[in-house]
Amino acid sequence: MKKHVYSFGGGTAEGDGKMRDILGGKGAGLAEMSRAGVPVPPGFTISTEVCNLFFENGNKVPQEVDDQIHAALNTLEQQMGKKLGGVDDPLLLSVRSGAKFSMPGMMNTILNLGLNDQTTEGLARKTANARFAYDCYRRFIQMFGEVALHIDMAKFDHIFNSRKGKVKADLDTDLSASDLKTIIDDYKKLVKKETGSDFPQDAREQLMLARDAVFNSWNTPKAVYYRRMEKIPDSIGTAANVQAMVFGNMGDHSGTGVGFTRNPSTGEKVFYGEFLVNAQGEDVVAGIRTPQPIAELEQVMPEAYRQLREITSNLEHHYRDVQDFEFTIEEGKLYMLQTRNGKRTGPAAVRIAVDMVEEGLISKKEAVQRVAPNQLDQLLHPVLDPATRKGLQKIALGLPASPGAAVGRAAFSSEDAVELAVKGPVVLIRKETTPDDIHGMDVSKGILTAVGGLTSHAAVVARGMGRPCVVGASSVAVDEANKQATIVFEGTKLTLKEGEWISLDGTLGEVYLGQCKTNEPDPKSPDFATFMKWADEFRGKFGVRANADIPRDAKQARAFGAEGIGLCRTEHMFFAEDRIPHMQAMILARDEKARKKALQKLLPMQRKDFAGLFESMDGFPVVIRTLDPPLHEFLPKRENLMVDIARLPNASAKEKKEMSATYNVPVPELRKYLPDLLHRVEELHEFNPMLGHRGCRLGITYPEVTEMQARAIFEAAAHVAKKGINVIPEVMIPLVGNVKELENQKALVLKVADEVLGEAGMRDLKYHVGTMIEIPRAAMTADEVAREAEFFSFGTNDLTQTTMGLSRDDYTKFSRQYEDLKIFKADPFAVLDQEGVGKVIEMAVKLGRKTRPDLEVGICGEHGGEPSSVEFCYRIGMNYVSCSPYRVPIARLAAAQAAIADEGKAELQRTA
C-alpha cells in the first residue's frame, strides 16, 4: 500500500527536508527539524498527493488514506499520552496547509481542534485555568466556523466586539472567563442559525472536516490567483499538517511569534520578527494586538530567546538560506512550529545572496540561482510605501503592465497631461492609448488604461520608457470630455476628477485614491553590481540587447548592461510634434515628387536620432527596423475629423485657432484641408490593418520611404564613425513573408549604402541587412529567406498573433476564462507559447542556419524580457534576446540561470 501519511516529532521523522514534493515545504521542514533534535510538537503530514486524490475522488479522501490517518493519530495519542476528544486531558491539534512552494496567507489553518463542550471543561480543570480553556474554545469555534463551515468571519467579530464594548474591555485579554463563556454561547447560536446544525462535538469528525477544508482552500480564488501570479503549478496540491497543540496563551510565561533570520525587506543580517505574550499564533499576523519586536523577547524570556537564537542560526546554516520561522513558548518551554526558506524582496534577495557568498555559505553559482529574475524589477523602479498604502482606498485592479510606483494628479487626455505636468507629477488615464498619446505619456509619471492587455500600445511603450503602467482596469470608465472617470470597484462607486491624486502600482496592477509615499530603489548599489557581474560570468556569450527608439532610452539601456539595440522602431520618431506634420504631408502627397519633398524634411531628423543611438552603443550593434505600421496610424481618426468638419462653419475664432494648431495649417485653409484629409483617411482605411498595407509592403509600394530611411542610417553611421566610434548598423526589414519582398527591399538598402559610404570614403564599414520573422510563411520558408537575410529577429508579438490567429488587443476580453479553464497556461502575449509559437520559431532557426550556418538569430518581441521565454531562446540556440531597457537586468539573470541549468543537464548526461 502506498504511503500517504508521514509522522514526525520526538527526535524522529518518517520524512526529511528533501521530500518537499510529497510533504510540502512546511511538512518537509518539520520532518527535518525533528531529525535534527529541534523541539517540535509531534504530529503527522498528509501528503500533497492526497490533495489531488481528494479532488479526483469528488472531494472525498479515499478509505485507505483515512485508515492511515487514524493509524498516525493513534501513534500521536500514544506519544502524547492524551486522547483526541478525551474528557479529562484532551489532545488538541492544529491543522495547517503547506504546499511545496510558500503561499503565505493563501490557504487555511485551524487551531485548538478537539475542543467541545466537555473537553473544554476538562482542559479548564487540568490547567486550573478556566479563562485559558474558554479562550481556546472561542478561538476554535470562530476559526473552524469560518474555514470549515463557511460562516462570514465578520459575524463572529460582531459578537466578540459587542461583548468587549459591553464590558468596556480595551484588549482581548481584558475579557474574563465569564465573558468568554458568553461569547462561546453566542458563537454556537450563530453556527446553528447559519448551518442549521449544532457545532460539531465529535473531535474526529472535526479533524476530517478541517483536513477537507485545508484541501479545499487550495482552490479558493485568492490561492488560484496567487499561484497564477507566482507561476506555481495547480497540479502540485497542498499537504495538510496535523500537529499537537502547544499554547502561547497560558499566561505571562507563554507567548508566540514569527520571525526571519535576516531582514526580508532589506536583507540586513539582523534577527527580525515579532512576538506576543499570552497569545496564539494568529494574533501576531491578524493585528488583533500590537506585537513587540523580537529583540525584546530577550528581556521578557531570556532563556527561550537564547534557545531561539541558537536554533534559528543553526537552521540557517543547515539550509544555507534565510529561514522564516514560527514558534510558541508554553510556560517557558520553546517549541518550533515551522521553518521554511523565507520570502524576501528583490533588494533583500540580492543582498542576502551576495552576503552568503562572502560568508562562505553558498557559491556564486548558487547565489545567481537564488534570485528570481522578476525580483530585480524592485531594484529598478520606485515602490509604493507599504505603511502609507494601508491608509489609502484601492479603487481599481488591472494588469501589471510596467513595474514601479507612480503618484500624481489625474489627467484624462495627453494635452491636459502636458499642461498639468508643468505644475507637478501627473498620471495619465485613458480608455486606451494610441501613438498620438506619446507626448502625454512622456510627461506622465505613470499610465492607467481601462482596456488593453500586457502587450497593448500603452504597455509596450510604457515599458520602453520605464513608466509604471496598469492596463485593462475595467472598473474605470473614462469620460475625456468631462475630464473625469467613473469608477465602480468592490461595491463602491466614485467619480475621479482631473487634478485629484492617485497612486499606481505597476508591479501589482493596483490603483489607489490619494497620494502615497514612494520608496526609491538603488540599482547602482555595490551588491547589485556584484550580483550582476556574477550573472554575466555564467551567461557567457549569450547576448542581451534593448528595444530603444531614442538616444535617452539607449543610454538607459547601456546603464542597465544592454549589449546593443535589438530593435529601434523608427515610426516612433515620426510622432514627435515637429515631425508629424511632415509625415502627414508625405502621406497626403499624390505623387512621388511631393512625397520625396516631405521625406527630405524628415531625413535630417532621422539622421540625428540614429547618430545618437550609434554614439550611445559604441562598439555594440544597433538593429533599426524600417517603417512598419500602416500609414493611417499617422493621421487623425476618421470620427474626430468628421466632428471637426461639422463644427467648423459655426466655430468661434478661438475654436478655429485650436483646430489650426491641432492640424498645423492656417485657419483659412481648414475648410479645404479637412475634407481632403478625411478623403485620404477613408482611402487608407483597411478592414484588417495588422495584415494590411504595412511593413515591407509599404517600402515596396513607396520605395522612396525605404530609401530615405536607409540614407539617414548610413549618413549617421558614417558621421559617427568618423569620430572614432565603432558603429555596427543592422537594417531590419519587417513583415517579410516571401523572400522576393526581402530581395526588393535589400537591393534598395544596398544601393543607398554603397552610394552614401562611397561618398564618405567608408566602403569598409561593416553592416548587415536582415529581417523580422513575424509571419508563419517566413518561418516555414526560412531556408529561402536566409539566402538574403544576414540575421533573423523574431517579432514574437505579431508572430504570436499570426500563428495563433489571436488579436492581442481583443484577447483581453476573454483571457480570464481561457486562463481559468487552463486552455492557455498563461497570457501568450506575456509568456511565449513554447508548444505552438515556439515550434514555429525553432523550425525557422534550423531552416535558416541550414542555409546560412553563421546566421545571427535573436528575439525582439516583449517576450525578450520574460524569464521562461529567455530560457527557451537560450535552449534553441539564439544569439541574443532584446527587451525594454528596464528589463535588461532581468533578461541577463534569466539567461545566466538558463546557462547554469543547461550546464547541469549536460553534466547529468556525461555521468549517466
Catalytic (active-site) positions: 457, 860
Phi-psi region of 143 (alpha: psi -120 to 50; beta: other; left: phi over 0): alpha
Residue reference for cell 566610434: 725
**CA 770/CA 148 separation, integer angstroms:** 62
- CA 678, distance to chain mean position in Å, is 43
In contact, 865 and 899? CB cutoff 8 Å: no
* DSSP per residue, 30-73: HHHHHHTT-----EEEE-HHHHHHHHHTTS---HHHHHHHHHHH
175-186 CB burial, b ≥16 within 10 A, e <16: beeebbbbbbeb
Could you count the other beta carbons within 10 Å of the beta carbon of residue 897? Answer: 23
**CA 208/CA 204 separation, integer angstroms:** 6
**CA 472/CA 435 separation, integer angstroms:** 18
Take residue 343 and report the three cell numbers written for it. Answer: 520570502
Q: Which helix (H) or strand (E) holds 181?
A: helix 177-195
Q: What angle do CA 891, 897, 899 make, to 5 degrees?
A: 100
Query: Exposure of 499 by Cβ count < 10 A (0-12 exposed, 13-18 middle, 19+ buried)?
Result: middle
DSSP state of 388: H
* Residue 238 one-letter amino acid: T
In contact, 798 and 774? CB cutoff 8 Å: yes
Query: Exposure of 95 by Cβ count < 10 A (0-12 exposed, 13-18 middle, 19+ buried)?
Result: buried
Q: What is the sign of the dihedral through the CA atoms of 897, 899, 904 and 908?
A: positive
421-431 CB burial, b ≥16 within 10 A, e <16: beeebbbbbbe
In contact, 601 and 582? CB cutoff 8 Å: yes
737-771 CB burial, b ≥16 within 10 A, e <16: bebebbebbbebbeebbeebbeebebeebebebbb
In contact, 618 and 725? CB cutoff 8 Å: yes
User: What size, in residues, is the chain?
Assistant: 912
**CA 623/CA 767 separation, integer angstroms:** 10
Take residue 82 and report the three cell numbers written for it. Answer: 492524551
**Which residues, at least 6 apart from 51, have a Cβ–Cβ distance to it below 8 Å?**
215, 218, 237, 238, 239, 240
* DSSP per residue, 125-147: HHHT-HHHHHHHHHHHHHHHHHH
Q: Which helix (H) or strand (E) holds 493?
A: strand 492-497
**What 3-state DSSP class applies to 405?**
strand
Query: Exposure of 522 by Cβ count < 10 A (0-12 exposed, 13-18 middle, 19+ buried)?
Result: exposed
The side-by-side arrangement of strands in the sheet containing 292-293 is 292-293, 272-277, 255-260, 323-330, 333-341
In contact, 779 and 848? CB cutoff 8 Å: no
* Residue 741 one-letter amino acid: E
Contacts by residues 25-28 (CB-CB < 8 Å, ≥ 24 positions apart): 25/98, 25/99, 25/100, 25/101, 25/102, 25/340, 25/341, 26/96, 26/97, 26/98, 26/239, 26/241, 26/338, 26/340, 27/98, 27/239, 27/241
